[in-house]
Amino acid sequence: MKKFIKIGKISLLALTLFSMNSCKDYFDLTDNPNLVQTPPLNALLTTSTHKAAFNNYRIAYFNNQYSQYFASPSPGSDTDTYQITNNSTTWNNLFYALADLYDYMVKSEEAAAYHHLAVAQALTAYELALVADTWGSVPYSKAFGKEATLNVPYDSEEDVYKAQVDLLNKALENFKRTDGSQTLSEKDDLLNGGKIDKWIKFTNGLKARVLNKISKKSSYNAKQVIAAAQASLESNAEDVGMVTFDGVNPWASISRSNLQNNLDGWLGSNFINQLNGETYGIVDPRVSKITEKTVHGVYVGTVSGQGNVGAANTVRDECYISFNSPVTSDASPLTILTYAEVKFIEAEAAFRDNNKALAYTAFLAGVKASMDKLTVPAADAAKYITAISVGQANLTLLDIFREKYVVTYTNAEAWNDVRRFDYKYKDFKLPLGAVLGGKFIRRVAYPSEEITENGSNVPAEVPLSTELWWDKP
């Protein structure tokens, strides 16, 4: 952690130059950022929105294996079987993003640029959630700025959660301000194109997520979740993601690597069996928009921990990420929040609030939005929706979580839902060779680099089956 504190203790200008250098590496800017004496806020807007999208991908890259969307084609994979893995690079990327956002907030306040400040606050809450939902207790309040110390103490999981809520509420207040200076640049905002109304809806969606995350706590307030969700995205057209890449969407890149036998991104059997009809007795037409059939003309997933069991890993005898899918194609956005997800948040909160009519309406709207997002033919979508239309009196949490599980494929948020639902999807199986004594994984071990550099503050090691603060009553 010391490297982040060193960043926090140098001048704000130097920190910004670090941010601009990061931006230059990715976008191959022609001007020299070291010559920028007062970097414009819109440059920080670009950096921050870019990193938010890519950090969602970085976390999803490994936690989607815990959600069993993916499984390794090699037997006994460390991630599949819940071995301790070293995620130092991902940890570093997240804290570099948080350092950039701290600088962005300071400079926005100095310039009385309240809409920029709101963006920085909303994205700080988002990046902080990515860290805390993965590791639990993390450094935050003493990690940046004047409060920074060389050996960084950790904030409690509950305090980090409260910080997220506070940041999102402040962001919503600042988005509404009409005074101050500096507007958001359309071309430099890689998530919402400089549109304040979209940022307000996005922030409300993030707030709905955060408030819904504590569904196991007595302090859970379903009505607040519903209110935030209803103030959020209103159609698929408002989905929040980034389409600016140096090449292609990184999920598509994984799939294309399979063509050169660089194997990765194989789809898990629990996921595929939900889609192909084996688990629930209903074939989900979205399966053809997520992956392709095997060489045998069927949809087959890889069992987590077992590895590929076909004739050879280089033959498509099991399913993997498709570069033809609307969510993992070359030009697909790295999506952070979708309208479909928001409708399922609303459905769950309404269900917990015993408002079955609202829950059922939102549930069906979420399924329809997902079908449309994946370009499922209208007749196929209608047939599936009819098959799962159980009526509001018969709607269950399993129905809601089952359908939301398809929607959050490739999103870092998915593992939060899987844990909140206690992995209780029908026939959802532990990985073969899992090392946690018959229990599912609930957290990730702290990175080795953090233990080396800030070990006196890193919390004591606990089994990876230990629930996070929000994951228990």
In a domain, 364, yes or no: no
pLDDT of residue 262: 63
Could you report the per-residue pLDDT of 334-373, keeping only the tens digit for each?
999 999 999 999 999 999 999 999 999 999 999 999 999 9
Q: What is the CATH number of the domain that holds 104?
A: 1.25.40
Query: What distance lies between CA 469 and its chain's CA centroid?
Result: 19
pLDDT of residue 311: 57
Q: What value does the mean pLDDT take over residues 428-434?
A: 97
Average pLDDT over all residues of the chain = 90
Q: What is the distance between the alpha carbons of residues 307 and 313, in angstroms, rounded to a whole number?
A: 9
Characterize the bridge pairing of strands 334-337 and 240-242: antiparallel
In a domain, 97, yes or no: yes
pLDDT of residue 2: 36
| C-alpha angle 351-232-367 in degrees, rounded to nearest 5 | 55
In a domain, 48, yes or no: yes
Does residue 438 register a pLDDT over 90?
yes
In a domain, 145, yes or no: yes
In a domain, 223, yes or no: no
pLDDT of residue 33: 39
Percent of the chain with pLDDT over 70: 89
Q: What value does the mean pLDDT take over residues 432-451?
A: 97
In a domain, 117, yes or no: yes
pLDDT of residue 232: 98
In a domain, 348, yes or no: no
Q: What is the distance between the alpha carbons of residues 473 and 466, in angstroms, rounded to a whole number?
A: 13
Could you report the per-residue pLDDT of 157-211, keeping only the tens digit for each?
999 999 999 999 999 999 999 998 888 999 999 999 999 999 999 999 999 999 9
Does residue 265 register a pLDDT over 60?
yes
pLDDT of residue 162: 98
pLDDT of residue 181: 85
pLDDT of residue 148: 65
* pLDDT confidence bin for 309, thresholds 50/70/90: confident
pLDDT of residue 313: 61
Query: What distance lies between CA 251 and its chain's CA centroid?
Result: 14
Could you report the per-residue pLDDT of 127-155, keeping only the tens digit for each?
999 999 999 999 999 999 876 667 899 99
Q: What value does the mean pLDDT take over residues 6-13?
A: 31
pLDDT of residue 39: 60
Q: Which has the minimum average pLDDT: 15-24, 274-283, 293-302, 443-452?
A: 15-24
Count of the separate structural domains present in the chain? 1
In a domain, 255, yes or no: no
Q: What is the domain range of residue 148? A: 1-70+85-194+436-453
